Amino acid sequence: MARTETSPIFALIDDIDAAARVVEELEQVGVKPDQVEILSGLPIDHAILGRPKIPERMTVITPMGALIGFLTALLFVFGTVALYPIRVGGHAYFALPPKLIIMYELTMLGIILSTFFAGTFWESGLLPFRKKVYDPAVSDGRIGFVISVTGDLRERALEVLRHWGAEIKEPEWRAL
């Protein structure tokens, strides 16, 4: 694909310190943080690169999952007894202690499933087979910059990247 004005800039940097300087200078020349996407082969905290903190809703999703698991357990352990009562050996219909075990396990299962499906897939936007800009060098430890800017800003961004020794590449749209 030929490089056009509308296609993003893709650059690779080896060093974290240089990447942090690039982030800083891009902001100085007028590139907004949401116009820059950073790809890396290891987790780099937002504070290290001076990027805004990524918002996340895990604190809502996980308790919701726990609640769903807990309510499912309630349905099983109390609903069953209420619907089909069987009197056995003078035991209480609603004996709480043994039911606590099922309630505990299903609550934990709710947390596990909600964290995995909603937290990891939905929140991260991990959807396979969609074409995205990527370079395998990222998994070899290089830091990738995908910068979506046009016109004069594009030139200034390129200048910053060149100054810090970034390797500017043709953006490859890969079906990952």
Is residue 120 near another protein by the rule CB under 8 A? yes
Give the dihedral sign, CA 128/130/136/141.
Answer: negative
The single-letter code of the amino acid at 104 is Y
Closest Cα to residue 41, out of 144, 161, 166? Answer: 144
Query: Least Å distance between CB 105 and another protein?
Result: 4
Measured at the CA of 88, the angle between CA 99 and CA 72, to 5 degrees, comes to 25
What is the CB neighbour count within 10 angstroms for residue 1? 8
Tell me: does residue 42 bind another protein (CB under 8 A): yes
Number of residues that bind another protein (CB under 8 A): 57
Site for another protein contains 31 (CB under 8 A): no
Beta strands in the chain, from DSSP E residues, in sequence order: 9-13, 36-39, 131-133, 143-147, 167-169, 173-175
Q: Is 95 in the site for another protein (CB under 8 A)?
A: yes
Check residue 170 for interaction with another protein (CB under 8 A). no
Instruction: Please identify which residue in 18, 29, 35, 76 interacts with another protein, judged by CB under 8 A.
Output: 76
Interface residue with another protein, options 6, 87, 129, 151 (CB under 8 A):
129
Q: Which is nearer to another protein, 103 or 160 (CB)?
A: 103
How crowded is residue 31: how many other Cβ atoms within 10 Å of its Cβ? 22
Instruction: Report d(CA 74, CA 7) in Å as an integer.
Output: 54
Only one of the segments 5-13, 17-25, 110-118, 153-161 lies at the binding site for another protein (rule: CB under 8 A); that segment is 110-118
Tell me which amino acid residue 142 is: R
Q: Which residues contact another protein (rule: CB under 8 A)?
A: 16, 37-46, 48, 51, 54, 56, 58, 62, 76-77, 80, 84, 91, 95, 98-99, 101-102, 104-106, 108-109, 111-113, 115-116, 119-121, 123-130, 132, 134, 136, 138-141, 144, 176
